[in-house]
Amino acid sequence: MTKSSVLGYPRIGADREWKKALEAFWSGKLEEADFVLQLQEIRLSHLRKQKEKGIDLIAVNDFSYYDHILDTATMFGMIPKRFTYNGGVVPLSLYYGIARGTKDATASEMTKWFNTNYHYIVPELDGAAPTLTENKPLQAYREAKEKLGIEGKPVIVGPLTFLKLSKGYNKAETDAWLDRLVPLYVQILQELAAEGVQWVQIDEPILVTKASQEDINRLNRIFAAFSAAVPNLNIMLQTYFESVDHYEDIVALPVKGIGLDFVHGLSANLASIQKLGFPADKVLGAGVIDGRGIWKASLNEKLALINQLSQVVGSDRLIIQSSSSLLHVPVTVKNEQKLPEELKNALAFADEKLDELVLLTKAVSQGAGSYAAELEENERSVQALKQSGERNRNDIQQAVAAISAKQPVRSLPFEKRHAVQEQKWQLPIFPTTTIGSFPQSAEVRKARQQWRKGELDNEQYAQFIRDQIDIWIKLQEEIGLDVLVHGEFERTDMVEFFGEKLAGFAFTQFGWVQSYGSRCVKPPIIYGDVAFEEAMTVEETKYAQTKTARPVKGMLTGPITIMNWSFVRDDISREQIAYQLAYALRQEVEALEQAGIGMIQVDEPAVREGLPLKEEDQANYLAWAVKAFRMTTCTVQDTTQIHTHMCYCEFHDMIGSIEDMDADVISIETSRSHGELIHSFELNTYKLGIGLGVYDIHSPRIPHVDEMTSMIDRALRVLDPKLFWINPDCGLKTRGYEETVASLKNMVEATELARAKHAQSV
């Protein structure tokens, strides 16, 4: 009989209970024992919900105290050398120290989970001696069975994916590291089998990226070892986010099931099954419900797809499941009271996706005719939004088609622009600035809440924001920064703020998703054609500029980041959405310039997050992403300096595209990579203005002057001093007042030392 399954469920809770518990524990307001109990209740409530809704195979060990990759690393005792670790179960203090840093040790690097908006803690293998500290999947299985009577499906990140996502080892040592890790996985699986576990999900999403034949050989060795050790355990080898290459090799592995993504990898995975068949001794985990998108599925279309699969794989060997973990979507639509009905009826968050999976499974098992009314209602909801006026604005579509047909270029090349900008701005060598935001204190959040509730009128709130700007403009001058920002106190989130002021967007009340750790975001929904309506940032930026003789940067979020950090419509291409955003933001850039703002930062921290996982698709994405940025910025005067900001990325494989963006200055997050990004500049030249983030804003620790001096010195060995800027690696919204001021003072001191050293060398 066909069964239903999910690959994982959101950790955070419908009201972000998980986040609140973490932050209470970190601040000392919650004792560890109470914290552990609170998280257990949250975890059990999620399992209970899935059981009540009728999911057949419920994932366990998908819950985490911070991040599932960090969980895997600590389960194997793989602790970075700079932390004190004496073996055994990793205590929470050390676990969170690795993630967040301590006063004595920097946090581990954080980077994106494939091409999603979730970020994981990168394991550091250097010097580690892996050992099994505790069998977390077994603990999760026992808890679900004993507390709720659930026969759970333990989820484990597979050894190949874990190793490929780690750092601190030579790639030539890959097989040696697998030799260390595989016996630990075998021990976990043997203990699970002895406990009576029926299904285990081993996640190997690395297989949707470019896998070498050597990697396939490794995979064969890994799963041969598993099969020999636990021949009667049902292992589901799970992939997601794209289609698999080496399909024939993967489906031949000695496992009971293969999980494939039939949403984001639909075309290629379906073609492989139809052309090459599927083994008769295996179960297919058919990921037909989108684990990353928020739109209601057309269940009739999904049933047609399942019917195609059933012609190759009998329905008794099908598990109908989400395409990936539901970690990437909000918890439920039911609490949303302010969305237009037409839109709300077309949405499906995690809980609604559970319902879709159960309904599809029943329709396959009992016949679609038995559920005709439900299927008809589903189709009405899907079609109503498609045909709405919001999605069919001819004025926007025609304007965007016209400007996107032209190649967007500045009137002068960078070298000539740089000369006129130097003459205008007269900045010192190594100009200092920040990325844009300053601490959003409890007072700031309270005022915003009062304004939203109507307890402060518009003018009272505007005056409050002006008061905050006054404080921080003065502070920046006292600290000694060269280029200032207004602080973004009026903004909740760098994407939400703009979405609220553009047509085509909608906002949830409770649509939170986890970005990293306890950091949750509420992505806007781009559901219609995007259009500029009125100036969005001019008032605050212009006011800030009246308070200082130093330049104040206008601050915008770029089109690609707005798109990649939003839930986007699925009826037109992402390229077209990006161009609509670029057209709207261009009008804001022009409004800032007309208001006398001569430095404008258009942030694109999420460009790489949208990079397709398949190499053959990446060049096209980067081409239209660059084009969208240039469409946004190309109409300004030569003296107007365009800045942008990017978070850490593997710079060497994007350097051409980043240069093609033609920003006058780019700031890049690099501190968490411990200087690795600078190595890219040792291999590649970069001829535009650049600021490498000299300290990590994600950690509460105050960086020492000598740490930043070391970073600056190394960068200046490979970058042109005349083009080098000094800044933190990201915005300061999440940091406290005292640590922000102290860190920036240290940064300016490090800059002054660099200026003195440079003056001596010329």
Residue 19 labeled ligand binder? yes
- Check whether 519 is labelled as a binding-site residue: yes
Hey, which residues does 310 pair with through a beta bridge?
A: none
565 is known to lie in a ligand binding site: yes
118 CB contacts (<8 Å, ≥6 apart)? 112, 327, 328, 513, 514, 515, 516
The question of whether 698 is a catalytic residue gets the answer yes
290 is in an annotated binding site: no
CB atoms within 10 A of CB 669: 24
Distance of CA 282 to the CA centre of its chain: 33
Q: Is 282 annotated as a binding residue?
A: no
Separation in Å, CA 664 to CA 49, 433, 640, 689: 52, 14, 9, 6
Q: How far is residue 351's CA from residue 336's CA, in Å, rounded to a whole number?
A: 13
Say whether 649 counts as a known binding-site residue: no
Amino acid making up residue 496 = E
Coil/strand/helix, residue 623:
helix
Nearest alpha carbon to residue 593 among 635, 534, 563, 559: 635
- 436 labelled ligand-binding: yes
- 689 Cα distance to chain centroid: 27
Amino acid at 214: E
Q: Is 146 annotated as a binding residue?
A: no
Per DSSP, helices labelled H in 547-674 are: 559-564, 574-594, 615-633, 655-660
Tell me the CA distances in angstroms from 572 to 270, 346, 386, one per residue in order. 22, 16, 10
Burial class (CB in 10 A: 0-12, 13-18, 19+), 87: exposed
Structure tokens at 318: 């099908």
Q: Taking CA 357 as the corner, what is the angle to CA 352 and CA 363, rounded to the nearest 5 degrees?
A: 125
**Residue 341 marked ligand-binding:** no
3-class DSSP state of 553? strand
Q: Is 634 annotated as contributing to ligand binding?
A: no
In the chain, count of helices (H) and strands (E)? 27, 21
> Annotation-wise, does 56 bind a ligand?
no
Angle value at C-alpha 275, between 271 and 279, nearest 5 degrees: 105
Consult the annotation and say whether 730 binds a ligand.
yes
Bridge-based pairing of strands 199-203 and 153-157 is parallel
435 marked ligand binding residue:
yes
437 is in an annotated binding site: yes
Query: Residue holding tokens 């921080």?
Result: 472
Q: Which two tokens stand for residue 557?
A: 């979020």
How are beta strands 283-289 and 257-261 bridged, if at all? parallel
C-alpha to C-alpha distances, 282 to 133, 250, 255, 315, nearest whole angstrom = 33, 12, 7, 12
Sign of CA dihedral 207, 235, 356, 47: negative
Could you tell me if residue 641 is left (phi over 0), alpha (psi between -120 and 50 degrees) or otherwise beta?
beta
Q: Which of 733, 211, 209 is nearest to 485 (CA)?
A: 733
Decide: 658 and 651 in contact? Cβ < 8 Å.
yes
Residue 722: Cβ within 10 Å count: 10
Nearest by Cα to 696 from 730, 722, 747: 730
The catalytic residue among 119, 418, 486, 698 is: 698
Is 757 part of any known ligand binding site? no
Report the distance separating Cα 74 and Cα 93, nearest Å.
12
Distances (CA, A) of 682 to 206, 653, 670, 678, 679: 29, 14, 14, 7, 5
Q: Is 472 annotated as a binding residue?
A: no
Q: Is 42 known to sit in a ligand binding site? A: no
Cβ atoms within 10 Å of 221's Cβ, excluding its own: 13
Say if residues 95 and 65 touch (Cβ distance below 8 Å). Answer: yes
Centre a 10 Å sphere on the Cβ of residue 165 and count the other Cβ atoms it contains.
Answer: 20
Q: Binding residue per annotation — 488?
A: yes
CA distance 462 to 540: 9
Name residues whose C-beta falls within 8 Å of residue 455's C-beta, 6 or more positions apart in sequence: none
Binding-site positions for L-methionine: 435-437, 488, 603
Binding residues: 16-19, 112, 117, 435-437, 488, 519-520, 565, 603, 609, 645, 647, 660, 669, 730
Q: Which positions make up the binding site for L-homocysteine?
A: 435-437, 488, 603
Cite the annotated binding site for 5-methyltetrahydropteroyltri-L-glutamate by residue number. Answer: 16-19, 112, 117, 519-520, 565, 609
Active site residues per annotation:
698
